[in-house]
Amino acid sequence: MGYNNVVMKRIYLDHAATTPLHSQALQKMLPYFQEGYGNPDSPHFEGRKGMAAVDFARDLLAEKLNAKPSEIYFTSGGTEADNWALRGGAYAMRAQGKNRVLISSIEHHAVIAAGERLRAEGFIVDYIPVNRQGIVEEETLEKMLDKDTGLVAVMTANNETGAIQPIAALCKRAHEYGALFFTDAVQAAAHLSIDTKALGVDMLAISAHKFYGPKGVGALYIKAGTKMQGLIVGGEQERGLRGGTTAVPLVVGMAEAFSLNEGGKSALKEKIAGLRAAFFAALGREGITVNGNEGGLEGILNLRVEGVPNVDLVYAADLEGVSVSAGAACASNSVKPSHVLLAMGLSEEEAKECVRISFGEGNEEADVAAAGKILRGIIDRLRKKI
Ligand code: PLP
């Protein structure tokens, strides 16, 4: 009998790629697919019902992010929020004579690709290096900042290594030079409490499917007074800055998931610490090094497995019921080494031996221990073959 996907118990260790929808969030969403179907911009009863749900979701999200409701703009996800922040921020600052954009070298492709497009449109775009731990140091940014810098983008925590960046300090430096500061908090939001005012940032992106919300919805926080153009033009939705009928069930689900996740963060952190320990106990450390992440997000573990190509390990693990990743989800089908690991100083060969394990709410210690054992078996087998 061959591989049977139906009877095999799966162990999902790829929560940084996406998370399952929380059932309570789903319950909140369901009414807005049918009886609460109104267009929130319509003035009649059905429309007002939709708008009430959207307003409630915006208020809840704003409260949890320590922002004003008017500073929250709904988007189709993290990618749109990242693109908007980069383009909106860069063009707003160009109008003030600042033509330079600084982007950390470990950003998600949504930020890097937006930056490369800005370069093609005449902006000067420079990448900020990171240290061996995958962290942007304050002094490194300080040396790069100049009067032409209009925008600085550094993510809150990295999606491949979990490395947490010193955002408040970096933001302060950028502001000293009159630059806007954007942080992609898409991965961080599932694990850390996000306080926009304490961070001091001008823009911040989140995406619901990383914190047990639905796919296809996110938000961009834009600090009051930041003069930004919209990215998607159309109707007057989102205070004229983001055209398109608001996806009522999705924003409702996002706000509920965010609120539930916020309430459970410290318990999740504790649980994940136990999961990591159980996983390592079963996997062992022989020939395995952890890339970066001292003091980073517990939920994300980037491992270099010496002598084992990551793509082989990911596919073999999948056949044995364990889902892990060779890097960011959008890049894991490509054989290119991770730009994040290269920026941290790994060689191309080393980077191709790295896998990402990301734990989440649905994992139990017995499962992650079983996964550790399965991975160890595969590693030993693959090493013998080479
Ligand atoms: N930014 C980071 C750090 C991410 O990890 C991701 C998703 O992988 C994104 C942005 C893109 O978000 P979305 O999938 O909602 O477009």
How many other CB atoms sit within 10 Å of the CB of residue 40?
Answer: 22
Compute the distance between CA of residue 142 and CA of residue 161 in angstroms, rounded to an integer: 24
Measured in Å, residue 77 CA sits from the centre of ligand 1 at 7
Report the Cα 278 to chain-centroid distance in Å. 25
Hey, which residues does 354 pair with through a beta bridge?
A: 304
Of the chain, the percentage scoring pLDDT greater than 90 comes to: 93
CA 110 – ligand 1 centroid, Å: 7
- Supply the pLDDT for residue 330: 54
Report, as an integer, the average pLDDT of 45-60.
98
Asked whether residue 352 carries a pLDDT value surpassing 50, the answer given is yes
134, 293 in Cβ contact below 8 A? yes
207 lines ligand 1 (CB under 6 A): yes
Residue 353 Cβ inside 6 Å of ligand 1? The answer reads no
Q: How sure is the predictor about 43, in pLDDT bands with cuts at 50, 70 and 90?
A: very high
Report the alpha-carbon distance of residue 128 to residue 147 in Å, rounded: 16
φ, ψ (nearest 5 deg) of residue 83? -60, -45
Substitution candidate for ligand 1 out of 107, 154, 187, 358 with most atoms within 8 A of CB: 187
- What pLDDT, on a 0 to 100 scale, did the predictor assign at position 1? 39
- What are 307-340's pLDDT values in tens digits? 999 999 999 999 999 999 997 655 555 568 999 9
Residue 218, ligand 1, Cβ within 6 A: yes
Which pLDDT value is given to residue 5? 55
What's the whole-model pTM score?
Answer: 0.96
Q: How far is the CA of 186 from the centre of ligand 1 (A)?
A: 6
User: Is any atom of ligand 1 closer than 6 Å to the C-beta of 186?
Assistant: yes
Q: Give the pLDDT confidence of 251-304 residue by residue, as tens digits.
A: 999 999 999 999 999 999 999 999 999 999 999 999 999 998 788 999 999 999
Ligand 1 site, residue 78, Cβ cutoff 6 A: yes
Closest protein CA for atom 8 of ligand 1:
17
Where in the chain does DSSP place strands (E)?
A: 11-12, 72-75, 100-104, 124-128, 149-153, 180-184, 203-207, 218-222, 288-290, 300-305, 322-323, 354-358
Please give the structure tokens belonging to residue 109: 């492709």
| pLDDT of amino acid 333 | 57
Averaged pLDDT for residues 15-22:
98
Is residue 327 within 6 Å of ligand 1 at its C-beta? no
- For the chain, what is the mean pLDDT? 95
Ligand 1 near 82 CB (within 6 A)? yes
Q: Which residues are catalytic?
A: 330
Whether 190 shows a pLDDT value over 90: the answer reads yes
Cα-to-centroid distance, 48 and ligand 1 (Å): 32
Mean pLDDT of 188-208: 98
CB atoms within 10 A of CB 196: 22
Cα distances (angstroms) measured from residue 66 to each of 224, 254, 255: 13, 16, 14
Quickly list DSSP for 37-49. Answer: ---TT-SSHHHHH
Q: What is the pLDDT of residue 334?
A: 58
Q: What is the pLDDT of residues 114-169, one digit of tens each?
A: 999 999 999 999 999 999 999 999 999 999 999 999 999 999 999 999 999 999 99
The residues facing 72 across adjacent strands are 221
Instruction: Report the alpha-carbon distance of residue 38 to residue 31 in Å, rounded.
Output: 11
- Alpha carbon 331 to its chain centroid, in Å, reads 14
> Which atom belonging to ligand 1 lies closest to the Cα atom of 158?
3
Residue of 114, 124, 198, 122 lying closest to 156 (CA atoms): 198
Q: Say yes or no: CB of residue 158 within 6 Å of ligand 1.
A: no
Q: How far is the CA of 70 from the centre of ligand 1 (A)?
A: 23
Testing ligand 1's pocket by substitution, the residue of 79, 105, 112, 167 carrying the most ligand atoms inside 8 A of its CB is 79
* Confidence tier at 2 by pLDDT (50, 70, 90): very low
State mean pLDDT over 25-46: 97
| Nearest in space to 13 (alpha carbons), one of 365, 380, 363 | 363
Instruction: Tell me 14's DSSP state.
Output: B
